[in-house]
């Protein structure tokens, strides 16, 4: 402190009640040339007057009253708690979203049953939702029908066989048939069977005393092999009582290790019927590999007893069973090979019918093809044996979802037991096939409808009961 300057000591205080108290103030001064302090004291008597204790009156060195401190503490504490709760809620939401996304990726990310194997290529589930379905159910109204997707009921075998897998075309022909017919047939195969999914070609002359299946990498090689093993009368079975060995031929093909079995197309031209035999095990093996068995049979047999036995196999494997008179066999061989050049089946239905009536298939959509004017294949068989007098007439029409007829045809006398046609349909349009029929009696007959496309589908169609 400076000399000769007057100082005042101010004390601010607060009491709980109004009364007079004594405050004692002591201060010291240093006496010159002495080391001791001399106390100076005064007794001050003050009244307890109200004092403004608001924050504006306090400096940073002044103590904050207890109540104000507690209020401030509660505000800070509450704010921190709210922040902690909010952060916890955000964490829970983020974890929930992450778990949901992970579930979707795991559950839906790889549902496709298609896998790659030695017999073919594969497809994925994402394609499954974007590609055109092969088959749809429908509810028909007078002018328009609706449709929903129907998955294949045929389970995939363990090796992952799908319609897109690489496949084999087997051409088998009876030794009882004329040379010219088989010579034409091999040319039709070279001309029409062009699918890139067919990676192996095989041929076999059966109903002979000494023959095996020959396997090739091209249809030209197969054609040359057929030319080398044309029908030979010296190798024919000695008696009409001998049934065809066509079933042995099929079993031999199932045992092969050279060419893929998945989705194989077995095309058989025959004249001799097989004798009675249980084929249930054989059918199961064929179905396991989704092998299609198709036959064209001369209605003038050279032997054997069971005309319908091969039809049971073709029906059970979603193939067709065509019968034709000798004079028209070349026409049916030409037409059926052309039918099978479109290797993807998109419609297959079997009906047990009699009398007069109509059948309507489920709705289908043609697989998208870049050349929209490219034809498809349709095969309608009216009986599972050579045509007889019980069949009277039939016609078919393909209609869109507005009832417009897109294609139609009628049965002709030269058609044998089937109609073979090549309609042109539009991309991405739903269709149904309507077949009208007339039989002379109440005898039950089998009517089958097949349709084929050159462009791939992803699902096998269901098999009928047998």
- Phi-psi category of residue 341: left, alpha or beta, with phi > 0 → left and psi -120 to 50 → alpha: alpha
Q: Ranked by mean pLDDT, which of 69-73, 114-118, 233-237, 388-392 comes out on top?
A: 388-392
Helical H segments across 137-178, by residue range: none
Q: What is the per-residue pLDDT across 357-410, written as a single tens digit (0 to 9) for each?
A: 999 999 999 888 888 888 999 999 999 999 999 999 999 999 999 999 999 999
Whether 179 maps to a domain, the answer reads: yes
Whether 264 maps to a domain, the answer reads: yes
Of the ranges 19-23, 181-185, 296-300, which one carries the lowest mean pLDDT score?
19-23
∠ Cα 269 411 465 (to 5°): 60
C-alpha neighbours within 13 Å on the C-beta side of residue 267: 25
Q: What CATH number has the domain bearing residue 359?
A: 3.40.50.410
Give bridge partners of residue 445 from the DSSP assignment. Answer: 353
Whether 41 maps to a domain, the answer reads: no
- Asked if residues 11 and 22 have their Cβ atoms less than 8 Å apart, the reply is no
Question: Quick one: pLDDT at residue 384?
Answer: 96
- Asked if residues 409 and 419 have their Cβ atoms less than 8 Å apart, the reply is yes
What pTM does this model have? 0.68
Question: Quick one: pLDDT at residue 128?
Answer: 30
Structure letter (DSSP) for residue 328? G
Q: What are phi and psi of 93, to 5 degrees?
A: -65, -45
How many folded domains does the chain comprise?
A: 1
Structural domain including 377 reads: 167-453
| Cβ within 8 Å of residue 201, ≥6 positions away | 168, 169, 170, 171, 189, 193, 215, 216, 217, 218, 219, 221, 222
Whether 304 maps to a domain, the answer reads: yes
- The C-alpha atoms of residue 326 and residue 339 are separated, in whole angstroms, by 20
In angstroms, the Cα distances linking 417 to 44, 373, 377, 387 are: 135, 28, 17, 5
The CA radius of gyration of the chain, in Å to the nearest whole number, is 47
Q: Starting from the edge strand earliest in sequence, which strands make up the sheet with 198-206, in order? A: 214-216, 198-206, 167-174, 265-270, 292-298, 321-324
Q: What is the per-residue pLDDT across 429-445, written as a single tens digit (0 to 9) for each?
A: 999 999 999 999 999 99
Q: How far apart are the first and last CA of the chain?
A: 122
Whether 121 maps to a domain, the answer reads: no
Whether 40 maps to a domain, the answer reads: no
Question: Quick one: pLDDT at residue 278?
Answer: 95
Q: Is the pLDDT of residue 173 over 60?
A: yes
- Asked if residues 330 and 336 have their Cβ atoms less than 8 Å apart, the reply is no
Whether 251 maps to a domain, the answer reads: yes
């Amino acid at each position: 402190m400076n000399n000769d300057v007057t100082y005042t000591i101010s004390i601010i205080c607060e009491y709980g009640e109004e009364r007079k108290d004594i405050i004692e103030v002591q201060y010291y001064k240093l006496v010159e040339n002495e080391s001791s302090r001399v106390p100076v004291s005064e007794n001050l008597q003050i009244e307890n007057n109200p004092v403004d204790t608001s924050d504006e009156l306090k400096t940073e060195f002044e103590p904050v009253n207890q109540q104000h401190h507690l209020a401030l503490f509660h505000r800070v504490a509450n704010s921190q708690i709210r922040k902690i709760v909010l952060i916890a809620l955000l964490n829970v939401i983020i974890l929930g979203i992450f778990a949901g996304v992970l579930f979707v990726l795991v559950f839906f990310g790889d549902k496709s049953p298609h896998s790659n194997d030695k017999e073919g290529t594969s497809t994925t589930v994402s394609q499954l939702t974007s590609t055109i379905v092969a088959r749809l159910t429908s509810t028909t109204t007078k002018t328009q029908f609706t449709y929903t997707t129907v998955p294949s009921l045929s389970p995939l075998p363990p090796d992952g066989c799908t319609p897109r897998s690489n496949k084999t075309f087997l051409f088998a022909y009876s030794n009882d048939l004329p040379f010219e017919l088989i010579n034409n047939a091999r040319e039709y195969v070279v001309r029409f069977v062009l699918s890139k999914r067919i990676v192996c070609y095989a041929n076999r002359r059966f109903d002979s005393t000494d023959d095996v299946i020959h396997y090739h990498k091209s249809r030209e090689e197969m054609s040359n092999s057929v030319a080398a093993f044309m029908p030979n009368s010296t190798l024919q079975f000695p008696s009409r009582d001998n049934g065809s060995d066509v079933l042995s031929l099929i079993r031999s093909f199932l045992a092969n290790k050279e060419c893929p079995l998945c989705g194989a197309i077995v095309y058989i031209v025959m004249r001799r019927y097989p004798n009675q035999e249980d084929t249930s095990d054989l059918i199961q093996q064929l179905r396991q590999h989704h092998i299609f068995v198709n036959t064209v049979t001369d209605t003038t047999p050279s032997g054997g007893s069971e005309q319908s036995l091969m039809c049971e196999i073709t029906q059970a494997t979603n193939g067709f069973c065509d019968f034709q008179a000798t004079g028209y066999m070349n026409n049916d061989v030409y037409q059926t090979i052309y039918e099978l050049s479109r290797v993807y089946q998109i419609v297959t239905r079997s009906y047990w019918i009699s009398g007069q009536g109509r059948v309507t298939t489920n709705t289908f959509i043609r697989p998208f093809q870049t050349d929209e004017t490219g034809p498809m294949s349709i095969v309608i068989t009216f009986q599972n044996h050579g045509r007889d007098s019980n069949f009277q007439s039939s016609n078919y029409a393909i209609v869109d979802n507005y009832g417009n007829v897109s294609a139609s045809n009628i049965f002709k006398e030269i058609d044998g037991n089937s109609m073979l046609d090549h309609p042109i349909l539009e991309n991405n349009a739903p269709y149904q096939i309507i077949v009208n029929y007339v039989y002379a009696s109440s005898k039950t007959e089998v009517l089958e409808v097949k349709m084929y496309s050159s462009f791939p589908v992803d699902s096998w169609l269901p098999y009928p009961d047998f």
